[in-house]
């Protein structure tokens, strides 16, 4: 997510349904920090990321595998499928998220009296079935024409929130907050009464644990622990249920937005020297916390299943949501304009949010297109010594005594050394990977580089051999990434 390149989210439309458990009222409960409201736009990008991807049609392959980030599924259902590997990123289904971060204040007494405001946010999936009128009642169908509109059976989502406020000094023994959303059903009659839409939601059950503990760091510093879990029992979902059913009982795109009054959060990405050891000791599973307020402010935190940087923000020229924050607004908008009338009709029949994107793109004025064409965030002179003197050498540059060199490093796969130039067969694993990679199963590829991530894991960048744009992708550094165990060597020596 680059703030200059693409949109990182939009606020929810007015009137969006929410389930908000308000903080306890009273004169001793201060208002949340103002930055919490400002950070919601970025949090909404996390909430709706990947909800529906271009070309916004149900028939598109990329929209047949959905709900890819922050899915907290029922624990018994997950464990029936094997163990869940704990990682920082939330791209794999899990039953809980663990956030650990650091809180500080002027002194211990001030830290005790600081107030923490936490908002748990997620999507509740709702199944929208299309039904037509019949002599003996209603019959569910895949598609229906009603008036000048077409409707498709599809899964939508509703945004939910549960908020809680607590004094930091009261969290030493922990506090458990229920996160529950009832099920429901709504019926919408279509034009002429020949059909209707039936939207059904399953109840969701979860729990949030808030707890603080001391740290060995000097000064008034405490570790804050947030555990968000799905507590749906085995009786509510059979262990052999398909994933589509499990997702309907899951907290989807789950994340926590937190604010503190009377204290401050400590960045885990760039902690001060005296808090560096305490920051390294923080554990984060299926989510990662970053400072989310304006630059220089430290009273707002966003713990997201999508790993962000401190102080993420929305590109100011972005006119609206596109559900793909890693892409460039101009490119997606131009591609949307090229859809045929029939493709647009299917997109509108797929989801009202897709229809809103089409309407917005069609109505964009010229001055908005000009803003989307490019923006310069900052200008700085290049020193006489060039980029090396400016401190912008690649992080793997040998001159910096780094131990990582993607273009020359290698991994051993099935006893074979795999490095830049090696040929491999792609075998993506069934769980814990990008679902779209399953479409690449069995295809051959050429290795471009071997990377090391922040967790110490190896990732292999490849280009597809049968991709006519492989050279262009390699020249621009746009690769596909796989773990070594997802590859099968096709040769014993790297190519030229």
- Tell me, yes or no, whether 281 and 424 share the same domain: no
- Tell me, yes or no, whether 273 and 402 share the same domain: no
Q: Tell whether 66 is covered by a domain.
A: yes
- Tell me, yes or no, whether 41 and 178 share the same domain: yes
Residue range(s) defining the domain that contains residue 271: 34-304
SS3 at position 20: coil
- What does the pLDDT average to over 300-319? 93
Average pLDDT of the chain, as a whole number: 86
pLDDT at 418 over 60: yes
Half-sphere exposure in the Cβ direction for 198 (13 Å, CA) = 12
The residue from 283, 304, 325 where one domain ends is 304
- Tell me, yes or no, whether 234 and 89 share the same domain: yes
pLDDT at 145 over 50: yes
Give this prediction's pTM.
Answer: 0.74
Q: Tell whether 16 is covered by a domain.
A: no
- C-alpha distance from residue 469 to each of 448, 463, 491 (Å): 14, 9, 23
Q: Which two tokens stand for residue 261?
A: 């009054």
- What does the pLDDT average to over 29-42? 90
pLDDT recorded at residue 99? 98
CATH code at position 443: 2.30.30
How many CB atoms are located within 10 Å of the residue 393 CB? 15
pLDDT recorded at residue 253? 97
Q: Which tops the pLDDT comparison, 162 or 25?
A: 162
Q: Tell whether 126 is covered by a domain.
A: yes
How many CB atoms are located within 10 Å of the residue 315 CB? 21
- Which strands sit side by side in the sheet containing 175-181, from one edge to the other? 175-181, 204-214, 221-230, 96-104, 264-266
How many CB atoms are located within 10 Å of the residue 125 CB? 21
pLDDT recorded at residue 148? 82
Half-sphere exposure in the Cβ direction for 434 (13 Å, CA) = 13
144 neighbors 132 (Cβ within 8 angstroms): yes
Q: Tell whether 346 is covered by a domain.
A: no
pLDDT at 7 over 60: no
DSSP summary character for residue 29: S
The residue from 245, 269, 304 where one domain ends is 304
Q: Which two tokens stand for residue 101?
A: 């971060």
The residue from 304, 334, 366 where one domain ends is 304
- Tell me, yes or no, whether 424 and 279 share the same domain: no
Q: Which two tokens stand for residue 281?
A: 């000791």
Question: How many separate domains does the chain show?
Answer: 2
Q: Tell whether 114 is covered by a domain.
A: yes
167 pairs with which residues across the strands?
A: 115
CA–CA separation, 448 and 480 (whole Å): 10
Please tell me whether the peptide bond between 55 and the residue prior to it is cis, using omega within 30 degrees of 0. yes
């Amino acid at each position: 997510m680059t703030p200059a390149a693409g949109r990182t989210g939009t606020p929810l439309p007015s009137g969006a349904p929410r389930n908000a458990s308000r903080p306890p009222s009273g004169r001793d409960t201060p208002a949340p920090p103002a930055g919490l409201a400002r950070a919601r736009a970025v949090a909404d990008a996390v909430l709706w990321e990947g909800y529906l991807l271009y070309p916004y049609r149900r028939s598109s392959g990329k929209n047949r595998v959905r709900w890819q980030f922050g899915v907290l599924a029922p624990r018994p259902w997950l464990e029936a499928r094997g163990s869940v590997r704990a990682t920082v990123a939330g791209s794999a289904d899990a039953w809980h998220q663990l956030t650990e971060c650091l809180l500080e204040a002027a002194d211990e007494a001030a830290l005790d009296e600081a107030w923490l405001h936490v908002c748990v946010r997620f999507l509740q999936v709702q199944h929208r079935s299309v039904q037509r009128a019949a002599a003996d009642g209603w019959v569910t169908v895949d598609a229906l024409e009603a008036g000048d509109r077409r409707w498709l059976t599809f899964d939508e989502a509703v945004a939910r929130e549960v908020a809680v406020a607590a004094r930091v000094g009261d969290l030493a023994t922990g506090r458990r907050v229920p996160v529950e959303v009832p099920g429901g059903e709504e019926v919408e009659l279509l034009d002429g009464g020949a059909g209707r839409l039936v939207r059904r939601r399953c109840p969701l059950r979860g729990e949030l644990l808030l707890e603080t503990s001391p740290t060995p760091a000097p000064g008034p510093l405490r570790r804050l622990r947030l555990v968000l879990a799905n507590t749906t029992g085995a009786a509510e979902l059979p262990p052999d249920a398909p994933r589509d059913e499990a997702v309907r009982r899951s907290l989807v795109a789950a994340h926590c937005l937190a604010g503190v009054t009377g204290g401050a959060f400590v960045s885990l990405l760039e902690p001060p020297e005296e808090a560096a050891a305490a920051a390294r000791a923080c554990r984060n599973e299926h989510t990662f916390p970053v400072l989310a307020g304006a630059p220089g402010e430290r009273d707002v935190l966003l713990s997201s299943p999508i790993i962000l940087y401190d102080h993420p923000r929305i590109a100011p020229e972005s006119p609206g949501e596109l559900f793909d924050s890693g892409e460039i607004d101009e490119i997606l908008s131009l591609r949307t304009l090229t859809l045929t009338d029939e493709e647009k009709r299917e997109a509108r029949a797929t989801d009202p949010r897709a229809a809103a994107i089409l309407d917005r793109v069609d109505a964009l004025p010229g001055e908005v297109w000009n803003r989307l064409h490019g923006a310069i965030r900052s200008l700085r002179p290049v020193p006489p010594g060039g980029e090396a003197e400016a401190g912008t050498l690649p992080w793997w540059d040998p001159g910096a005594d780094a131990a990582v060199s993607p273009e020359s490093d290698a991994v051993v796969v099935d006893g074979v050394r795999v490095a830049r130039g090696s040929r491999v067969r792609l075998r993506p694993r069934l769980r814990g990977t990008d679902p779209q990679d399953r479409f690449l199963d069995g295809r051959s590829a050429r290795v471009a580089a071997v990377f090391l991530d922040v967790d110490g894991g190896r990732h292999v960048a490849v280009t597809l051999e049968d991709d006519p744009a492989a050279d262009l992708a390699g020249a621009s550094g746009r690769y596909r990434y796989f773990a070594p165990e997802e590859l099968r060597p096709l040769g014993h020596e790297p190519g030229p």
